[in-house]
Each structure stands twice: as structure tokens, then as C-alpha cells.
Amino acid sequence: MHPTFQRVALVGKYHESVSGAIVESARAVISDIASFLSSQSCEVVLEKSTAENTGLTEFRALDVTEIGEQCDLCVVVGGDGTMLGIGRQLARYGTPLIGINQGRLGFITDISLEHYREVLPRMLAGEFEEDHRSLMLGKVMREGQCVFEAHAMNDVVVNRGAASGMVELRVEVDGHFVANHRADGIIVATPTGSTAYSLSAGGPLLHPLVPAWALVPIAPHTLSNRPIVLPDPVEVAIEIVAGRDASATFDMQSMTSLHHGDRILVRRSEFRARFLHPKGWSYFDTLRQKLHWNEGGA
């Protein structure tokens, strides 16, 4: 089959400051997949950090910006966290992503390491399901100035300090006052993030095609403070009214400390991530497998 994607970038999960055996294992996996892609008539490049941390030098290395500008496809080897990190960065370029999962089944890295040789050739030839995921843009405003900004594919979370009590948070939607929440924090989750921290906090599952967010209080003081589903064109504002050592996290991968009076503004990003899945993929199949539905048991 002639590949639909000529130049393919490979991003791998690697472990820094760990044993040589783990590093060698990661190197072997990335090397094997890179060689397989080459055998499928693809020009393979490695993401720069992947190349540096695995020590693989036989393939050209590009940084993420260069991958976005020059590559037709990005294959991500790891778990959902690895995919979130690279997916946020490549969304602005519209680069499609394929996820090969190492270990447990992921929600967005859905090809098992054991089966990639059977699955990838058909996908490279154009047989796949395409799945677009919205991103959020979060800003922390302090005295009218933006002091922190980050994109999120899963969620923006405002948390209390580890050694402090509840925080009080004033929530507004498009400038309309919603409520003051006294809680351990609050989550604004995309449909992608509805299966992450939001789910653990009692939030709803949102299908990826639903243009919505879930606003989910974390351990609220008032039990009637329930999760609410919002249309995603709105802007959510969360103000720190009371509480010490609060912080805001973006996909749990970037974090900033918050001060009393800070306002966290969350709106839909102009960018969307593009995931490619094997032909016949279904979001509901993933839910059943990951959440162990229909398994019964005592």
C-alpha cells in the first residue's frame, strides 16, 4: 500500500533519571516502531527530546514546531499523558495524531503495542476514523493583567492548598453570577477530560461530539452544589474569594499559584486536536473496556 502520510514524526514516552534497563526498553520500542514505519515507505523523524533521551541517532530529529510545520502525521507512543502533552502543542498546526499505548488501555491512545504492526499499515493507507477534540485556553488575571496562560485538552482545575482548608470560589458564566462554591476546588472539563479527574469527582461523561464543558465542584461543602454542563462557546470565570495556597492546573501538566482576588478565565481555544483511530473504532467500545462495563461481578 502506498502511504497517505509521507513524513511521519515519532514521539515516545521516555523516563529521565531512571535505571538503564528502563531507558534501554524505551529505546528498543521506539527503534522498532521507527524501523517499521520506514518499512512502510514513510520518512521517519523523531521528536527532539525523544531522540535525545533514547539516544537514537539514525533518524532526523525535529522540535515540535518543526514537526507541526513539516510532518503529515505524528505517532505517539506512551499513554494518555504523553498524548495530551504533544496534542496540545500540535493542535495549532492541524497535525493528525495516532496513539500507540504502552501498558493500560488509554482513552486517546487506543492501539496496543502488541498489535501496531497489524493496525498501522491500513491507517497509513488512509483507512481510519478521524476524531476532533476541542481545547481550552485558560488565563490567570491579576489586577487586570494576565500573569499565566496555557492550553488544556482535558481540564482546568482550581485546587485548594495541600495544607489548607476549603477555598471559596466565585463562579461566573459569560459575566453572569452562578454561585459561590466552598469546596476543595472546581474543575472545568472538556469532553476529553470528562473521563479524567472530572469523572472521579462525580462529573458526567460527555461524548466528544458534544460542544460542551462540565463544571464540577470538588468535595463541595454544600451538597446541592452539583456538576453542571455548559455550552462551550461561553467564558467561565473563577475568582478566588477566600482560601490559602490555591493553585490552577492545566491538564495536570502545568501549574501556577493563585492569590486572593485572582480570576481564572476559561474559554474555548481556536485550535482542535485531530486523533486518528483504526477503522471501526467506537468511543463506546473504549468506554466499555476502560470502565469495565458489562463485566458483572459480585
Residues near 49 by beta carbon (within 8 Å), at least 6 away in sequence? 14
Report phi then psi at 41, rounded to 5.
Answer: 70, 25
- CA angle, 208 then 238 then 256, to 5°: 85
Give catalytic status of residue 80 as yes or no.
yes
Question: For the chain, how far is it from start to end, CA to CA, in angstroms?
Answer: 48
Q: Which amino acid, one-letter code, is at 173?
A: V
DSSP result, 218-264: ES-SSTT---EEEETTS-EEEEEEE-SS-EEEETTTEEEE--TT-EE
Number of C-beta neighbours around residue 194 at 10 A? 27
Rg of the chain's alpha carbons, rounded to an integer? Answer: 21
Report phi then psi at 129, rounded to 5.
Answer: -105, 135
- Give me the catalytic one of 32, 63, 80, 155: 80
- Count the helices and strands in the chain (H runs, E runs): 7, 18
Please give the grid coordinates belonging to residue 281: 473504532
Please give the grid coordinates belonging to residue 180: 459561590
> 3-class SS at 139?
strand
Give catalytic residues, as residue numbers.
80
